[in-house]
Structure formats: C-alpha cells, structure tokens
Amino acid sequence: MIIAVGADHGGFLLKTKIVEFLKELGHEANDLGTHSEEPADYPDYARVVCRQILQKKADKGILICGSGVGACVAANKFPGIRAAICHDTFSAHQGVEDDNINVLCLGARVIGDELAKDLVKVWLSASFSEAERHRRRLSKVEEIEREFLKGNRNSDTFKDRA
C-alpha cells in the first residue's frame, strides 16, 4: 500500500521511525514532512496527507502530532477523510472494520514507539467489514458532510491548492 505520512514538530521523531517501519512492512511511505523539530503547524500536514488520499496518490494516511488531537480535528474537515486517534489495538482494527477510517492519528507525546508500530501494523492489517449496518452508518456520515461541509470529494477541489 502507499501510505502518506505527515507530522508536526511534536510528531517529527516518531514519524521518522514510522516511515522506516512502513518500509520494513513492505509498504511505500510518502513522507510529506515536517522534516525537523522546528515548530510546524499540524493543519499543514493534515492538508497534504489528506490531499494525497483524496487524489488517490496514497491509499491511506498517518498523521502524528503531540497528542494526535489537532491532526485528527484538521483531517476530519476533509470530505471523504475518516480520521481517528487510535492508541489501543482494539480501536486500531475496529476503526477500520466498522468505520473504515483512512487516516490513523497518533500522539507522539502520549504513546511510545513500539506501541505506535503495533498500532500501525494492526491498522494496516484490518479491512472494512462491508456489513450493511456499517455501510448505512457511513452513508449517514456522508450525509452530514454534504449538508455541513462546503467542499466535495472531487479531487478537482484541490487542484488550485497545491
């Protein structure tokens, strides 16, 4: 799989380890920054990671900030993105099986490197169940997007925002 990965300064160090881990697992990791511990704004990395997914340049995304919270808030503003902070393995697989999350958010100041790697592995191994009740619930989430979010799922939305 192609995984877009982004982090702010709080997530930078963990991101370098996760990028290497993804490669060890046989995935392609698109490291979209940040590339140092200089202060950086998490919405900028949410934007580039989500953009890659919506443009189908990446299959899924991982966002890392200090807590995982800011990155998750920003990512969920993009129609078609379903992001969640998963700091336990149950949520990491159930979030895909039931909720079809396409962005995993991690808090580098909350969890350790080894748990982060386990979470990534479990998350990537899970698949959406396709169960009717989960499809119905996700359709309702999409209804909310259509009603309240201005953008749309068409990648053209992002053409002039490189």
Identify residues 26-85 at the interface with ligand RB5 (CB under 6 A): 42, 65-67, 69-70
Burial 27-55 (b: 16+ CB within 10 A, else e): bebbbbbbeeeeebebeebbbbbbbbbbe
Beta strands in 40-143 (DSSP E): 60-65, 83-85, 103-107
Using CB under 6 A as the binding rule, whether residue 13 contacts ligand RB5 is answered as no
* By CB under 6 A, residue 6 contacts ligand RB5: no
Near ligand RB5 by CB under 6 A: residue from 5, 8, 50, 91:
8
SS3 100: coil
- The answer to whether 10 contacts ligand RB5 (rule: CB under 6 A) is yes
Say whether 86 is catalytic: no
Give residues in contact with ligand RB5 (CB under 6 A).
Answer: 8, 10, 42, 65-67, 69-70
Residues designated catalytic: 65
